[in-house]
């Protein structure tokens, strides 16, 4: 008996999604709750799992096709029966009854059997049967196997056509469609550049006080709270303090209105294989350093595993981006609309600085704050960044609420 497999029910803010890929093929046996497909939306990737032990009997939405909420994408059978395509291929290619039949269906170079349809497709595409993963009975290559091999080959950058004597005048290229996440990022960033009056102001911070605090109390902090004392929690706490002092930096523009937020929801940019995502630490003003660190670790883990949910990234009043983990010394971060400001962290680098008339070597970090000049004046932007600098260079005052 066949069961319908539908796309997940999308949140109200998501209109549709794209079938990112099928992890299982038609006719392939799967276990209950095993992931069989991934649906990519503008912000997250949603998993489709098998309802019970069985197999996919029919795929209606191929990889790359658009789907709406709760739309039929496949049929699933508890019997584990083979797909119609495999059954048709096997009907056309019955198992050999004697040596003569074996000579017809067996590839003499690699001992893999294939039917006429599969053999014709491999010949037309110059495919070595030894490179095709066979899933048919008795190790037979089916037409579906060849199609799967071609799709995998097309998707893999390592399989670009090499330059040979026949194409010596051409250079290899690959054209692939943008993922929905990448396309959404591109669209939103372009809109920010076009629709805001974005400027960036810079400063630098001496990180020695925080480094000394981490050295002195790091082990004790980890033993008590179960997480390491990182740098990001200090920046989040410093941002909360500065946002309280400069409410316009924590505001957003809605048409001709200014919306002032009485809470501080801090977005922390996280880089993933699929692109940049910004999970939100909600009500950061109510969290201590340990709670902030735990939130960051939880979101980072979910982002790496592709487990972030839509509500994890919705909202936010201010964003912090850390390009320093990739070695960036200085950059101009771009706004995360509709927010009106973003703080950019950078690489900590030992540099000579003048302190009390003497030149000393200190671990310094450049800070960059991009802001929407429609709402935030230069004086406020500079004052906000100086506030963060002072909090980080005197972390004891930050922790004491001074």
Q: What is the largest CA-CA distance in the chain?
A: 96
Nearest CA to 264 out of 320, 215, 323 is that of 320
> Quick one: CA torsion of 305, 306, 307, 311, rounded to 10 degrees?
140
Residue 48 to residue 7: CA distance in whole angstroms: 7
Residue 87 CB coordination number (10 Å): 14
Active-site residue (options: 33, 111, 288, 377): 377
Give the N- to C-terminal CA distance of the chain in Å, as an integer: 69
Residue 76 to residue 26: CA distance in whole angstroms: 9
Distances (CA, A) of 170 to 68, 157, 161, 174, 213: 41, 17, 10, 13, 59
Q: Which residues contact 311 (CB under 8 A, 6 or more apart)?
A: 11
Is 91 one of the catalytic residues?
Answer: no
Residue 389 to residue 32: CA distance in whole angstroms: 53
Q: Which residues contact 226 (CB under 8 A, 6 or more apart)?
A: 294
For 339, phi and psi rounded to 5 degrees? -65, 155
Residue 196 to residue 252: CA distance in whole angstroms: 12
Asked if 342 contacts 335 with a C-beta cutoff of 8 angstroms, the reply is yes
Q: Cα–Cα–Cα angle for 242, 247, 250, nearest 5°? A: 80
Is 373 one of the catalytic residues?
Answer: yes
* Cα–chain center distance at 257: 33
For 54, phi and psi rounded to 5 degrees? 170, -145
Would you please indicate which residues are annotated as catalytic (active-site) residues? Answer: 373, 377
């Amino acid at each position: 008996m066949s069961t319908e497999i539908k796309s997940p029910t999308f949140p109200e803010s998501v209109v549709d999604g794209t079938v990112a890929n099928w992890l299982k093929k038609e006719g392939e046996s799967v276990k209950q709750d095993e992931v069989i497909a991934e649906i990519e939306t503008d912000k997250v990737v949603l998993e489709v799992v098998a309802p019970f032990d069985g197999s996919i009997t029919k795929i209606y939405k191929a990889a790359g096709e658009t789907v709406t909420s709760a739309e039929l994408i496949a049929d699933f059978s508890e019997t584990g029966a083979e797909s119609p395509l495999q059954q048709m291929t096997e009907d056309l290619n019955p198992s050999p009854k004697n040596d003569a039949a074996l000579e017809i269906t067996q590839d003499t170079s690699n001992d893999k059997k294939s039917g006429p349809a599969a053999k014709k497709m491999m010949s037309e595409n110059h495919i070595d049967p030894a490179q095709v993963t066979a899933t048919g009975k008795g190790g037979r290559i089916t037409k579906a196997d060849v199609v799967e091999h071609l799709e995998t080959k097309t998707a893999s950058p390592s399989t670009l056509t090499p330059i040979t004597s026949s194409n010596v005048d051409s250079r290899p290229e690959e054209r692939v469609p943008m993922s929905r996440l990448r396309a959404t990022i591109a669209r939103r960033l372009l809109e920010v550049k076009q629709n805001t009056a974005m400027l960036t102001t810079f400063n630098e911070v001496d990180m020695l006080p925080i480094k000394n605090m981490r050295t002195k109390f790091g082990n004790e902090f980890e033993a008590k709270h179960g997480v390491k004392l990182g740098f990001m929690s200090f920046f989040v706490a410093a941002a909360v303090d500065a946002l309280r002092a400069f409410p316009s930096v924590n505001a957003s523009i809605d048409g001709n209105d200014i919306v002032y937020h009485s809470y501080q929801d801090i977005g922390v940019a996280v880089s993933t294989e699929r692109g940049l995502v910004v999970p939100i630490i909600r009500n950061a003003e109510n969290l201590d350093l340990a709670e902030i660190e735990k939130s960051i670790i939880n979101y980072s883990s979910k982002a790496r595993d592709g487990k972030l949910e839509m509500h994890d990234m919705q909202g936010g009043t201010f964003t912090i981006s850390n390009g320093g983990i990739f070695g960036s010394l200085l950059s101009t971060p771009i706004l995360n609309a509709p927010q009106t400001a973003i703080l950019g962290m950078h690489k900590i680098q030992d540099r000579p600085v003048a302190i009390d008339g003497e030149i000393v070597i200190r671990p310094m970090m450049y800070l960059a704050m991009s802001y929407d000049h429609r709402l935030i004046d230069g004086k406020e932007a500079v004052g906000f960044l100086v506030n963060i600098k002072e909090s980080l260079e005197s972390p004891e005052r930050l922790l004491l609420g001074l």
